[in-house]
Amino acid sequence: MDLYLDSADRDALAPLLATGLFRGVTTNPLILQRAGVRLSEVPSLVSWLLASGADEVFVQTTAADADAIEREGHALRDLSDRLVVKVPATGPGLVATRRLSAAGVPVLLTVVYHPNQAVLAAAAGARLIAPYLGRMTEAGRDGRADLRTMARALAGTGTGVLVASVRDAAVVPELAADGLEAVTVGTDVAHAMFAEPLTDAAMVQFDAATSALR
């Protein structure tokens, strides 16, 4: 499973990217706002992320109509050939995704909540979709079941699934066991993935034994 970080906070991202375990970084306007990153500062952020160990970076369009989304998508892609354009799963977004994909721009269709949107994303040529698992579940849907349906529907289409809105580190291995190929998590969830009390306890014993052997 490919692991991504969902953040624009440089201080929080730096140590996690340095591990080499996370393939890249996903962002959206809310994430930028929380990190205090203005739209004019996105090019600088992208450069920093790529220099800090991200293999690829995802940046979301902010326009509303298909023509403007398409123009913005090309402008974002011009920042780097390792940038993937995120486009919301609206009607205009799907039209723009089709155009951008046809022009060779990799697109992730984001804020996906229903398998119908996954099918439309494949028809539009999206590279990935980002279903919001946490929000789906909080809305009373069986998010895990819907994700499995999306994955089966997309098998062989060339469109993959990058699960977003993951609230708990324990969910990540469950998603991997379900066959989902990628997930993006906040830095707090990423840190929680490293935590295991039994491993910590074993290391205390190993350290004590090592000291006794000297």
DSSP H helical ranges for the chain: 10-17, 29-34, 42-51, 66-77, 91-102, 115-124, 133-138, 143-154, 171-177, 187-194, 197-213
List the structure tokens of 14.
């730096």
Taking only the tens of pLDDT, the chain with its 214 residues reads: 999 999 999 999 999 999 999 999 999 999 999 999 999 999 999 999 999 999 999 999 999 999 999 999 999 999 999 999 999 999 999 999 999 999 999 999 999 999 999 999 999 999 999 999 999 999 999 999 999 999 999 999 999 999 999 999 999 999 999 999 999 999 999 999 999 999 999 999 999 999 999 8
Q: Do 131 and 164 contact (CB within 8 A), yes or no?
A: yes
User: What is the C-alpha to C-alpha distance for residues 201 and 20, in angstroms, rounded to an integer?
Assistant: 25
Other beta carbons within 10 angstroms of residue 39's beta carbon come to: 10
Q: Which of 3, 22, 86, 175 is catalytic?
A: 86
- Tell me if residue 112 falls in helix, strand or coil: strand
Question: What is the pTM (predicted TM-score) of this model?
Answer: 0.95
Q: Do 4 and 21 contact (CB within 8 A), yes or no?
A: no
**Where are the domains positioned within the chain?**
2-213
Q: Do 53 and 18 contact (CB within 8 A), yes or no?
A: yes
Residue whose tokens read 């980002």: 130
CA proximity to 110, closest of 143, 157, 62, 144: 62
Residue whose tokens read 């069986």: 142
| Residue 112: strand pairing partners | 131
CA proximity to 191, closest of 1, 14, 40, 51: 14
Q: Do 18 and 49 contact (CB within 8 A), yes or no?
A: no
Q: Which pLDDT value is given to residue 162?
A: 98
CATH T-level assignment (fold) for domain 2-213: TIM Barrel (3.20.20)
Q: Which pLDDT value is given to residue 214?
A: 87
Sign of CA dihedral 18, 23, 24, 28: negative
Distance of CA 142 to the CA centre of its chain: 20
Instruction: Say whether 60 is catalytic.
Output: no
Other beta carbons within 10 angstroms of residue 20's beta carbon come to: 9
Other beta carbons within 10 angstroms of residue 145's beta carbon come to: 12
